[in-house]
Amino acid sequence: MTFEEIQNRAIAEWKNLCGETRILVGAATCGRSAGALSVLDAINEELTKHNIDAVVTQVGCIGLCYTEPIICIVKPQQPHIFYASVTPEIVPEIIEDYLLKGDPRPDLALGSVGNKNVKGIPNLFDLPMLKPQVRIVLRNCGFIDPTNINHYIANSGYSGLVKALKMSPEKVIEEVKESGLRGRGGAGFPTGMKWGFCRKAPGNEKYLVCNADEGDPGAFMDRSVLEGDPHGVLEGILIGAYAIGATKGYIYCRAEYPLALERLYTALSQMREYGILGNNILGTDFSFDIEIKEGAGAFVCGEETALIASIEGRRGIPRSRPPFPANSGIWGKPTNINNVETLANVSMILQRGATWFAGFGTENCRGTKTFSLAGKIKRTGLIEVPFGIPLRQVIYDIGGGITGDKRLKAVQTGGPSGGFIPPEFLETPVDYESLTKLGSIMGSGGMIVADEDNCIVDMARFFLTFTQSESCGKCVPCRVGTRQMLDILERICRGEGEEEDINKLQHLAETVRDSALCALGGTAPNPVLTSLRYFPNEYEAHIKEKRCPAKVCTELVYYYILPDKCEGCMLCLRNCPVEAIKGGKRMVHIIDQEKCIKCGTCLDFCPPRFNAVVKISGEHPVGLEEPIPVKK
Amino acid sequence: MSGKLAEILNIHKWEKGTLIFILQKVQRELGYISEEAISEIAKRARISISEVFGVASFYSQFHFTPRGKHTVKVCLGTSCHVQGGPRILEAVERELGIKAGETTKDYKFNLETVACFGCCALSPVIVVDKTVYSRMTTKRVKEILRLYQ
Ligand SMILES: Cc1cc2nc3c(=O)[nH]c(=O)nc-3n(C[C@H](O)[C@H](O)[C@H](O)COP(=O)(O)O)c2cc1C
Ligand code: FES
């Protein structure tokens, strides 16, 4: 089949589908965990009950994870209508009212997408969380069936590949260079230039690797893209492979992403069927195949030289560069490694042209960046914004501000390799250079919001625990340095810190940063360095006053029952796992501090109308010895 | 050698670079990597036992002791940490009476920690077998684990 025939078939199928009533159910991992599959069952049941003809499709995530499960109903010639926080109980109402009676239920709808307006329902993309966004990488997520290649093709999919195959490889590289695309895996290296190195490297056997290890523990951009639009990435892989002259490709995907893996396997077999993968792709003399490698759980394998070792079946240990993978990678052959999101951008650059792409973002950072917004923020989810957007707009307009209207403490970007950004820098534009200037990094797109209830010292300890346990142990600065830093941080969190510790930490952090073999060690000190730089008060409170201002560090916190608030309801007493609470019906309860394991169960169980259990830090609780009757 | 192990090892060609894949296959089918599996793999791949164990022990995915019937994984990634993941872990530990990395005596549960399932927007998260439970609270721990008792 020629591509034209494939395309015509896909478009015909898509048109046919658009002539029917469709229900799209957001069923990516996040949607599923919020109950999307039971919503799906309820929908099918309801359709059968009323004998309604409708096509129900599981789609990827549109990014509004905070209000999953999300469904979308599309009647022929009508706009898409999105409903959020859908439960199986509400499904019959929506279906009966909209599909049988023609009432789209504006009271339940979140927004609509299409050229017509629906009375009482705002345009989805005009909502505050979506308005500042630009969807290039996420263009199809939530709108097409990720298990059907025809949906992708009908929406201009693979036209970028077809265009590339008619150009010379050098011209394709030129186009990517012109677009200004920089690698989205963290370092921001210009993609076109990287491809040029690999193209020029001598050898007939070359490899292209798509890095889908997504090691940052708090990031899910790549997972969402792979689950929602796998072909968007695969088209980019093919274009890259053609440009550098690769014969074989690997997708290195972490095993914690079973659904993403499933989507990839399905996509690959559909591509083979259409002759878009394998020998003589689309009738040209370009041949290329892709193999999926499942990661086995090691953060360091995201680093390119470790990743190569892991693909070769060895321990994932980095080596020093040069030689760079472009010259000597898998089995010593020239190898090009790109991140998932980088490649998803490539397919759009070829489809729409470098000039179009370069129209987004800033002078030095073209295009968009996806972020996974999580932590103490109202609207958590997956977002895509043009480079240069001020941090404030991301946190307050898109994210809706801090949960419970608490005080923002810090925005953490770049995960274990990045740093904390305090509120005074909220006007900073989001781009590689500006974040680096603050001591953090752009990273791959994790963005975690911490509020006044989070302890910065505890978070620094958390990141160090992670990097220390993921350090491969090959180089001394990282193996020993992260251990030493962690020891000090643990001591401070236990209230055993000494004044000298701050200087020691600073010195160690700088040494590890400047001398580690790979970027895991080189960036591991960032959380420590930024926390010391912006939050010295928190360290001092822990060290000098033995107080954790956020009341997080267990050893520095006591639970205490306020005698004048306790109503003697016995809920905390009954649920305490270690029987540390004394009391009785209508007696003021007392926590035995010797027995207390500080699990916080009493705080969870104390009814909000009493609010009698409190956490205190920096002072020892003194109070009643024995329970006394509750005052009337 | 157990029949199943032989079966798995027989169907795979020993190409360069397949070691991790074979280990994953063995673990998926048999639940863990036994000593016998390691020495048999070493023999067939013509590499030393220490090399096979070296690779297997490098990656956190591989286990060397039999697994329980259900696996409870508690996420301790950044977002889950910020939202109280450590307290969820403590609650699960208390409920099952084991620590992270251990298996209950009756081989019903293993408890593991994981750094992120990519479900951070709905943290804290735990995964039992293949089901993801998001927005966890310490109160829900008991309820959910009971489903698997
Ligand atoms: C410790 C460590 C972990 C990394 N993890 C990832 C990852 O999970 N995904 C990724 O794409 N890049 C990761 N990188 C960056 C890669 O080494 C590499 O720079 C990137 O995949 C290149 O792709 P790009 O040019 O498209 O950004 C990691 C780097 C380090 C040092
Ligand atoms: S941090 Fe727990 S799912 Fe990502």
Residues A437 and A574 in one domain: no
Residue A632 — very low, low, confident or very high, per pLDDT cuts 50/70/90? Answer: low
Look at residue A1 and tell me whether its pLDDT is greater than 90.
Answer: no
Q: What is the pLDDT of residue A462?
A: 97
CB A304, CB A214: distance < 8 Å: no
Residues B90 and B127 in one domain: yes
Q: Which amino acid is at A160?
A: G
Q: A221 C-alpha to center of ligand 1: Å? A: 13
Chain B, 32 to 61: residues with Cβ < 8 Å from chain A are 54-55, 58-61
Q: Which amino acid is at A420?
A: F
Average pLDDT score over residue span A10-15: 97
Token pair 């989070």 is at which residue?
A: A454
Q: Could you tell me if residue A186 is inside a domain? A: yes
Look at residue B35 and tell me whether its pLDDT is greater than 70.
Answer: yes
B78 and A CB contact within 8 Å:
yes
Where among B34, B58, B82 does a domain terminate?
Answer: B58
A252 and B CB contact within 8 Å:
no
DSSP label at residue A367: S
Residue-number span of the structural domain to which A74 is assigned: 17-125
CB A445, CB A341: distance < 8 Å: yes
CB atoms within 10 A of CB A120: 11
Q: Is the CB of A302 under 6 A from ligand 1?
A: yes
Residues B45 and B89 in one domain: no
Under 8 Å CB-to-CB from A620, ≥6 apart: which residues?
A: A558, A593
ipTM of the complex: 0.94
Residues A464 and A534 in one domain: yes
A468 and B CB contact within 8 Å:
no
Report d(CA A291, CA A180) in Å as an integer.
Answer: 29
Q: Is the CB of B119 under 6 A from ligand 2?
A: yes
B2 and A CB contact within 8 Å:
no
For A581-603, the pLDDT digits (tens) are 999 999 999 999 999 999 999 99
- Integer-rounded Cα Rg, in Å, for chain B is 18
Report d(CA B68, CA B103) in Å as an integer.
Answer: 6
Look at residue A631 and tell me whether its pLDDT is greater than 90.
Answer: no
Where among A477, A511, A544 does a domain terminate?
Answer: A544
B99 and A CB contact within 8 Å:
no
Atom of ligand 2 nearest to the CA of A219: 4
Residues A222 and A337 in one domain: yes
Average pLDDT score over residue span B73-84: 96
Residue-number span of the structural domain to which B29 is assigned: 3-58
Look at residue B12 and tell me whether its pLDDT is greater than 80.
Answer: no
Token pair 């994210």 is at which residue?
A: A399
Q: What is the pLDDT of residue B48?
A: 95
Q: Is the CB of A300 under 6 A from ligand 1?
A: yes
For A53-86, the pLDDT digits (tens) are 999 999 999 999 999 999 999 999 999 999 999 9
Report d(CA A607, CA A568) in Å as an integer.
Answer: 11
CB contacts, 8 Å: B139 with chain A: 604-605
Q: Name the domain count of chain A.
A: 5
For A479-511, the pLDDT digits (tens) are 999 999 999 999 999 999 999 999 999 999 999
Helix (H, G, I), strand (E, B) or coil at B38: helix
Which of A29, A416, A446 comes nearest B119 by C-beta? Answer: A29
Tokens found for residue A60: 């990827």
CB A385, CB A367: distance < 8 Å: no
Contact A604 B137 (CB under 8 A): yes
Report d(CA B51, CA B54) in Å as an integer.
Answer: 5
CA nearest A316 in B: which residue?
B58
For A503-537, the pLDDT digits (tens) are 999 999 999 999 999 999 999 999 999 999 999 99
Where among B18, B37, B58 does a domain terminate?
Answer: B58
Chain A, 274 to 303: residues with Cβ < 8 Å from chain B are 293-299
Residue A626 — very low, low, confident or very high, per pLDDT cuts 50/70/90? Answer: confident
Where among A82, A110, A125 does a domain terminate?
Answer: A125
Residues A306 and A437 in one domain: no
CB B126, CB B74: distance < 8 Å: yes
CA nearest A601 in B: which residue?
B138
Among candidate residues A279, A507, A379, the one with its CA nearest the CA of residue A64: A379
Q: Could you tell me if residue B100 is inside a domain? A: yes
For A170-223, the pLDDT digits (tens) are 999 999 999 999 999 999 999 999 999 999 999 999 999 999 999 999 999 999
Residues B130 and B87 in one domain: yes
Tokens found for residue A472: 């491969």
Where among A451, A469, A486 does a domain terminate?
Answer: A451
User: In Å, what is the CA distance from A40 to each residue of A19, A25, A187?
Assistant: 21, 7, 40
Q: Could you tell me if residue B63 is inside a domain? A: no
Report d(CA A132, CA A126) in Å as an integer.
Answer: 9
Q: Which amino acid is at A491?
A: R
Q: Could you tell me if residue B64 is inside a domain? A: no
- Integer-rounded Cα Rg, in Å, for chain A is 27
Q: What is the pLDDT of residue A115?
A: 87
Q: What is the pLDDT of residue B15?
A: 81
Q: Name the domain count of chain B.
A: 2
CB A458, CB A492: distance < 8 Å: no
A373 and B CB contact within 8 Å:
yes
Ligand that comes closest to the CA of residue A317 = 1
Spell out a b/e string for A548-585, using b for 16 or more CB atoms within 10 Å of the CB, else e.
bbbbbbbebbbbbbebeebbbbbbbbebbeeebbbbee
Residues B49 and B102 in one domain: no
Tokens found for residue A84: 């959020």
Q: What is the pLDDT of residue B1?
A: 65
For A355-390, the pLDDT digits (tens) are 999 999 999 999 999 999 999 999 999 999 999 999
**Cis omega (within 30 of 0) for bond into A563:** no
Q: What is the pLDDT of residue B2?
A: 76
A480 phi/psi in degrees, rounded to 5: -85, -40
Chain A, 419 to 458: residues with Cβ < 8 Å from chain B are 446, 448-450, 454
Average pLDDT score over residue span A540-557: 96
Look at residue A541 and tell me whether its pLDDT is greater than 70.
Answer: yes
B137 and A CB contact within 8 Å:
yes
Average pLDDT score over residue span A10-39: 96
CB contacts, 8 Å: B132 with chain A: 29, 32-33
Q: Is the CB of A215 under 6 A from ligand 1?
A: yes
From A253, A303, A330, the mutation candidate for ligand 1 (largest count of ligand atoms within 8 A of CB) is: A303
Residues B34 and B87 in one domain: no
Ligand that comes closest to the CA of residue A215 = 1
